[in-house]
Chains A and B, each alone.
Chain A
Amino acid sequence: MNFKGRDIVSIKDLTEEEILHILDIAEGMVPIARGEEKSNLLEGNIMASLFFEPSTRTRLSFEAAMKRLGGNVIGFARPGATSIQKGESLADTIRTAESYCDVIVMRHPQEGSARMAAEFASVPIINGGDGAGHHPTQCLLDLFTIKKEKGDIGKNKVALVGDLKYGRTVHSLAYALAMFKAEMVFVAPEQLQMPSEVVEECKAMGATISFETDLEKAVEDADVLYVTRIQKERFPDPEEYNKVVGIYKVDKKLLENAKKGIIVMHPLPRVYEIAPEIDNTEYASYFRQAFNGVPVRMAILALVLGGIK
């Protein structure tokens, strides 16, 4: 398996075997990510972090990952002070940036931007989110979390809850879970259900899929509850939004009837969908999940930069 020089644009660019390899390497990175061990694996390497759209977790965890491995970081957190404001094309920004670094991590509001950047750059491009498109490192850290907490990926029944229609992370995650033959239940109001294209694709890969509108029913036999935020702006009628938000609230009472050992995941930021009373229970996996972004991104950086095979 050779990752050196590779772009990570979409989870679909990776095979099951390659994903498992990334997760294995990430597992080994955990003590370094925690700061318990020191590493200079990527010493002398520079990562350009180009965020054309704001992000907290993705950007900070990438930068932390690079620095934990002894590498350096350059870049910007919003396009405000750059030549993009002067009308420079993304292609030109990428060609300039790549001459200053060894790897580029980027987030951009337009779909397909990372794919295009990969065509222009000779250094690896890691997609940190392209509009409503892909966010492969989020997907990998989600898989890492499930594997770490449940011991396996495919043997679980995963309930994906909330905005399954527009949510960028859930489409990739559903696809990846299908790759591992996990059982999935899609819990969403009619108007926010998983697009049929994604459902078809997952089924074609051999995934068992069911649909549910009632979250209480779904938690009875799910091993993982993956909750996403429902965005208010998706609803023309605020009344409709309020109804839905109320239904999909994960709190202690809901989890009383849940399958033993269930974990609650969320890509964050959360708003109303997970009650803070869950935070200190054994169910709450979302802060560990956020931390897992660091070892997973360390693994990806180390692999594409050739620090590890």
Chain B
Amino acid sequence: MKELKIQPIKNGTVIDHITPGNALKVLKILKIPENVSDSIVSAVMNVESKRGRKDIVKIENRELKASEVDKIALIAPNATINIIRDYEVAEKHHVVVPDEIVGIVKCANPNCISNSKEPIQPRFIVKSREPLRIKCFYCERELEDISSGLM
């Protein structure tokens, strides 16, 4: 626990190894602060670690849903989701970027069919994982700024 810069939490989630600078985007995905009741949320940015610099987000009394984890993968592909129960890491998941990303980010092309009133969900194909590059299944344009396309 040498790494800890903040108070340990009893139950909750630690999102570790977030791409440096993206902690606030992770909070945005998790709809924080709107979605927190009285639990403590802390974000640490740009800390040194064995694998280079990283951001960390810790949320008390909340275990993340799979759909939220999928979104985090898009902006922090190396993140780990650590579920804390009774002060211990009870579960550790590595986020995975799926081959297809459906209903998570919107296409930036205003003339794309996925941005009109059609009964479809935005859908992206992963072109490369490192760096993460995704392209719209419909109009085939690459989404340059993935985090700003988050729904």
Q: Which residues of A approach B to under 8 Å, CB–CB?
A: 10, 89-91, 108-113, 115-116, 119, 130-133, 197
Contact = CB atoms under 8 A, between A and B. Distances in A.
Contact of A119 (B109, B117, B120, B140): B120
B142 A197 contact: yes
B140 to A, nearest CB: 7
Interface of A: prevailing SS: mixed
A133 B140 contact: yes
Q: What band does the interface of chain B fall in when counting residues whose beta carbon is under 8 Å from A?
A: 10 to 19
Contact of B114 (A10, A112, A133): A112
A112, A113, A119 pick with most chain B CB within 10 angstroms: A112
28 contacts: A89-B118, A90-B113, A90-B116, A90-B118, A91-B120, A109-B111, A110-B112, A110-B116, A111-B112, A111-B113, A111-B138, A111-B139, A111-B141, A112-B112, A112-B113, A112-B114, A112-B136, A112-B138, A112-B140, A116-B113, A116-B114, A116-B118, A119-B120, A130-B113, A131-B111, A133-B139, A133-B140, A197-B142
A133 B107 CA distance: 14
B138 A89 contact: no
Interface of B: 109, 111-114, 116-120, 136-142
Given A110-B111, A111-B109, A111-B111, A116 B117 contact: no
Interface of B: prevailing SS: loop
A119 B121 CA distance: 12
Contacts of A109: 111
A304 B147 CA distance: 40
B119 A112 contact: no
Given A111-B139, A112-B136, A115-B138, A132 B118 contact: no
Contacts of A133: 139-140
B113, B114, B136, B140 pick with most chain A CB within 10 angstroms: B113
Given A110-B113, A111-B109, 10 more contacts: A89-B119, A90-B118, A91-B118, A111-B112, A111-B139, A112-B140, A116-B113, A116-B120, A119-B120, A132-B111
A190 B39 CA distance: 56
Contacts of B142: 197
A99 to B, nearest CB: 17
A112 B139 contact: yes
Nearest to B115: A110
Shortest 8 CB-CB contacts between residues of A and residues of B: A112-B138, A111-B139, A112-B139, A112-B113, A110-B113, A113-B113, A116-B113, A115-B138
Contacts of B116: 90, 110
Nearest to B114: A112
Contacts of A197: 142
Nearest to A197: B142
Contacts of A111: 109, 111-113, 138-141
Given A89-B119, A91-B119, A91-B120, A116 B138 contact: yes
A123 B118 CA distance: 19
Contacts of B118: 89-91, 116
A110 B141 CA distance: 13
A131, A133, A197 pick with most chain B CB within 10 angstroms: A133
Contact of B117 (A10, A89, A131): A89
A115 B137 contact: yes
